[in-house]
Amino acid sequence: MNDNRDYGVAMLRITLGALILFHGLVKIFVFTPAGTVGFFASLGLPAPLAYLTILIEAGGGLALMAGVFTRYVALAQAALLIGTIVTVHGANGFGFSNKGGGWEYPAVWAMALVALSLMGNGAFALKLGRSQTAAA
């Protein structure tokens, strides 16, 4: 793999990780875990799913930024975003500017995470176990 591709993948990985970490931190410090559980309950979702979402967003965001288990974490986050389309955003139509936010933004974000899972770590990743970078 050439150096420019590695840097581009790292930029994508770190950016996606920071964005999803932010969402997790909002659920912890702004909405609070109890408030997040309440919101999930209002959607008919079980409380443990709220805690799992916080873990995937906050812990997974940190893991992506560090380049740890990138392929698996990115897929878990993509699944989470597809879940938001099914449970929240899908009924609001396509455009994210629609009232309540449509499914456009979560779909793009999910596909970027799937692409990242196919590409691996890129540059600046912690070296744990064998390399996750795809062969050139």
Question: pLDDT (tens digit, 0 to 9) for every residue of the chain, 136 residues total?
Answer: 556 999 999 999 999 999 999 999 999 999 999 999 999 999 999 999 999 999 999 999 999 999 999 999 999 999 999 999 999 999 999 998 899 889 999 999 999 999 999 999 999 999 775 554 554 4
Domains held by the chain: number: 1
Domain of residue 64 covers 3-119
Query: Is 125 within the bounds of a domain?
Result: no
What pTM did the predictor assign?
Answer: 0.88
What are the distances in angstroms from CA 99 to CA 82, 88, 93, 95, 134?
A: 19, 11, 9, 9, 40
Query: Is 135 within the bounds of a domain?
Result: no
Query: Is 132 within the bounds of a domain?
Result: no
Query: Is 113 within the bounds of a domain?
Result: yes
